[in-house]
A = this chain, B = another copy of it.
Amino acid sequence: MAVYTQVDDSTLAAFLSDYTVGAPISFKGIAEGVSNSNFLLETDQSRFILTLYEKINDPEDLPYFLSLMEHLANKGLPSALPISDRNGQFLKEIKGKPACLISFLTGVSIDAIGQNHCASVGQALAKMHLATQDFSGVRENDLSVSGWRTLVEKTRDRADEVMPGLSDIIVSEIEFLEENWPTDLPKGTVHADLFPDNVLFMGTEISGLIDFYFSCTDFMAYDLAVCMNAWCFDQQHHFDPALAKRLMEMYDIVRPLTPAELEAMPILCRGASMRFLLMRLYDWLNPVEGAAVNLKDPLEYLVKLQFHQAIQDTAEYVV
């Protein structure tokens, strides 16, 4: 949540000389993104976000993420559009770091989540899944079952520092998921991280979907499971079936869920809980020196995992 690399006016001017976006009239670092530096740029023509990729796991994935955003924006979804320079390039470099100029989206992130927000999210997620059926990019989900196993191995020895018994819980859950994870659900291009801070609203309408830097090719219903966890629990981590009903219902209207997908929801939600539990647990046990990032509580996702472990049937989510 900080600007890691300063971009001075001469550097900005040199960068913008490759583009036809006008002259800067305002330029401010913004406190968004954990692994990027972001700047809000206003020119005499329009407004943009300039992103410097600081700690991207694999820079070779950037063209995939940016092509996906372009694909979605061209299909009329409210994704930011990467802006090409005079030579048609959108992936550039500033101070040795990959950098991209992206269109600015209005809208506000929501903390007080209501049913109409969930309805809009369900609808937008399904539209994204449909709009990417003809997207040619493919990227494996490195944070699915085998990635979780890696994180279990890296955290199990110290997990009980966070909560006694946690190590046993994650070991037994990864074994369950390895044995039972679905193999034949419909796949597509998923956002994989569509949390409230990655959705911009104007009222209850979505005006922006952002931060596609975990996007990958995976089960489309898994993306819905991530959203169940991110949108349908209250601040005290209590599940709200009314929110889940609107999310799933509106998703299903746009892209009907198959019987196999519906049946798999509880295990997909368990997997989605493990993904965030393990990542947060890893970050908690391995804090980055001097990082001004607020660590997120892994136990929030333990509560969600245990909630889903008790679900026998998808219908229980919406009653």
Q: How far is the CA of A112 from the CA of B11 in the complex (A)?
A: 10
Q: How far is the CB of A237 from chain B (nearest CB, A)?
A: 17
User: Does A285 lie at the interface of the complex (its beta carbon under 8 Å from any beta carbon of B)?
Assistant: no
Q: How far is the CA of A3 from the CA of B27 in the complex (A)?
A: 17
User: Does A2 lie at the interface of the complex (its beta carbon under 8 Å from any beta carbon of B)?
Assistant: yes
User: Does A32 lie at the interface of the complex (its beta carbon under 8 Å from any beta carbon of B)?
Assistant: yes
Interface size on A, residues (CB 8 A): 29
On whether the beta carbons of B9 and A31 are closer than 8 Å, the reply is no
Q: How far is the CA of A30 from the CA of B224 in the complex (A)?
A: 32
User: Does A136 lie at the interface of the complex (its beta carbon under 8 Å from any beta carbon of B)?
Assistant: no
Q: How far is the CA of A200 from the CA of B25 in the complex (A)?
A: 9
Q: Can you name 29 A-B residue pairings with CB atoms under 8 Å?
A: A1-B2, A1-B29, A2-B2, A2-B292, A3-B31, A8-B112, A9-B109, A10-B111, A10-B112, A12-B108, A24-B108, A25-B106, A25-B107, A25-B108, A25-B202, A26-B106, A26-B108, A26-B200, A28-B30, A28-B40, A29-B30, A29-B31, A29-B32, A30-B30, A30-B31, A31-B31, A42-B106, A290-B292, A292-B292
| 8 closest cross-chain pairs (CB), A and B | A29-B31, A292-B292, A8-B111, A3-B31, A10-B112, A26-B106, A28-B30, A25-B106
